[in-house]
Amino acid sequence: MSVAEGDTAPDFTMEASGGRTVSLALMKGKPFVLYFYPKADTPGCTTEACAFQEALPQLGKIGIEVIGVSKDPMKPIEKFAEKYNLSFPLASDTSEVAEAYGSWGEKSMYGKTYMGIDRSTFLVDKTGKIARIWRKVKVPGHAAEVMEAAKALS
């Protein structure tokens, strides 16, 4: 299953870093960025998370919140958030949120295929509709690209 721009964002409730809970219901009336990353504290995911952390002040000015999501358990997520001073919530997808967003699929590395998260980002407007989707994200410059699209929402 996959979602498209203009669709209503699939519902979610997940445990997140800092003892928080994130959910679509809690985000009602607020635009936000939901991004899926493969694994906490790996080079690409660290670069991406730090870029979103750097963009937070500007995103905050236009009322955009950021939520990062991986299939990692909470313990490595908390360590990742602390190590890089990530103040936005990093959520642990223990259900099928990545599947609902079409961000879970077959991947391959070194000739082995496995199931994993595809690096992808969703910009959700204040009505709960998906305004923009980025799939197979290339990390360099991505946070800046998301910020430009977010400015158009406000």
As annotated, the active-site residues are 45
d(CA 98, CA 32): 16
Our CA dihedral for 70, 76, 78, 79, rounded to 10 degrees, sits at -130
Return the SS3 of 67. Answer: strand
d(CA 51, CA 64): 15
Q: What share of the chain is helix, strand, coil (3-state, %, to 5)?
A: 30, 30, 40
